[in-house]
Amino acid sequence: MTLERAKPRIVVTFGTRPEAIKMFPVVFALRETGLFEVKVVVTAQHRELLDSVLALAGITPDVDLDLMQPDQTLDGLASRILTSFGAALDDLKPDRVLVHGDTLTTMMASLACYFRRVPVGHVEAGLRSGDIYSPWPEEVNRKVTGVITDLHFAPTETAAAALRAENVDAAAIHITGNTVIDALLFAQQRLSANPSLAPAIAPLRERFAGKRILAVTAHRRENFGAGMAEIAKGLQQLASRDDVAIIYPLHPNPNVGGVMRPALEGLDNIALIDPLDYLDFVAMMAASDIVLTDSGGIQEEAPSLGKPVLVMRDTTERPEGVAAGTARLVGADASLIVAETVRLLDEPAAYARMATAHNPYGDGKASSKIAELVGKAH
C-alpha cells in the first residue's frame, strides 16, 4: 500500500451487463466494510446493456472508458481495452484490481495490471468447459486471467478443483459462492416492494395468461449462423403448441435478430422484445415455466427461482447445475430442444425434479466473503 493513503485503493472493473450484475454487490460489500477506497472503472464494451444495471445499483463509474464501437472486432476491442485501461491504472495507481468472469475486459484489464505488477482478484474464477472454442473467446479469456490472478474467488468446489488441476496454489483459491445470487436477492427485494419496476413483463403476463411461458435468450458467438437457425426452428415448433408462449428479448447483435426475426415474427404466441433491464429480466424468469438459454449466468439465476434450465450449447463451464439436476444440455439442436422442452411441459414428475433440485451456486453472501478476503490481503 502506498504510504500517503489512509486506505487501500481497490479498482473494480467490468464492461458488460452480466459482469455489472455480478459485480455491483461486490462494490456494495467493499464499500460497506469502510476499509477501502473503492473506484469503479467501466470499459463499456456493451454500452446500452450496461447502463441500465449501473442505474439500478446507483453506481456512477469513477472512470468510464466508453470503448464500444459498432461492428467491433475482438482484436480491435482487446487493444483498446489494454491501452485505455492501462492509462486508467497509471492515473489511479490502485493497490488491487478486481475483475469478473471471462470477457475481453477481464483478460485485457488483467494483462494491463500484470504489466504494472498490480495484483488481480478474479471474481467467478475457475470456470472451465475444457474446449477453447466453446465458449469462444470466453474460455481463453478466463484461463489467461487465471494465470495472472493471485486471489481466485471460485463460486463452487468444482471451479476450485479446476484451478487446483491447473496447479494454482490452493492457498490462493477461496470458495465464495456466486455473486449472481446476491444480485438476484437484491432484485427480488426491489420487485416485491414495487412490482411497477418491471414494466415490460406485466403486459406479457396478461397477454399470455393460462399458457406455459418459455423464457428464451440466445446470443452466443459460437451459435451464430447454423446454431441460431436451429434454435429458431426449435422455437417455431414449440410455438405450434396452443398451450405455449415464448418471451424472447433479442440481443442487439444482427447475427441474432437477422435470423430470429424472419423466423419468428408474426407468430401470436411469441413476443420478440427489446433487451430487458435487469429487474424486468428477473421478472421474466419469475413469470416463466422453463428457461431456454445459451447464456452462462442464467444457468445460475434461474434455479434460484425454481425454473428448469435447458442450455442450448454443447458444453458448459457450469457443470454443477447439470450435476445437481437444475440444468440440462440440449445443444443448438432443434429436435433436442423440442424433445426436452416437451418432456418438461408434459411430464410433471420430470418438471418437478428439475424445479426443486438444489441450487449449487450459493446463499447470497458471496460478496461479503470476497470483501473480507480482500481485507485480509491488504
Q: Which of 102, 182, 300, 340 is catalytic?
A: 102
d(CA 270, CA 264): 7
Contact 278, 56 (CB under 8 A): yes
Q: Quick check: is 340 catalytic?
A: no
Q: Which of 95, 138, 230, 300 is catalytic?
A: 138
Contact 49, 256 (CB under 8 A): no
Q: Quick check: is 251 catalytic?
A: yes
Angle, alpha carbons 194-199-204 (nearest 5°)? 120
3-state secondary structure of 213: strand
Q: Quick check: is 289 catalytic?
A: no
The separation between the first and the last C-alpha atoms of the chain, rounded to the nearest angstrom, is: 8
CA distances from 208 to 241, 269, 277 (A): 13, 7, 21
Contact 196, 179 (CB under 8 A): no
d(CA 368, CA 348): 38
DSSP 121-176: EEETTT---S-TTTTTTHHHHHHHHHHH-SEEEESSHHHHHHHHHTT--GGGEEE-
3-state SS record for 6-72: CCCEEEEEECCHHHHHHHHHHHHHHHHHCCCEEEEEECCCCHHHHHHHHHHHCCCCCEECCCCCCCC
- Pick the closest to residue 105 from 12, 174, 191 (CA basis): 12
Contact 292, 310 (CB under 8 A): yes
Q: Quick check: is 219 catalytic?
A: yes
CA distances from 49 to 35, 100, 137, 277 (A): 31, 17, 20, 7
- Partner residues linked to 290 by β-bridges: 214
| CA contacts within 13 A on the Cβ side of 26 | 31
Q: Which of 19, 95, 124, 139 is catalytic?
A: 124
Q: Quick check: is 221 catalytic?
A: yes
d(CA 299, CA 122): 20
Q: Quick check: is 37 catalytic?
A: no
Question: Sign of torsion, CA 68 72 76 77?
Answer: positive
Active-site positions? 102, 124, 138, 219, 221, 251
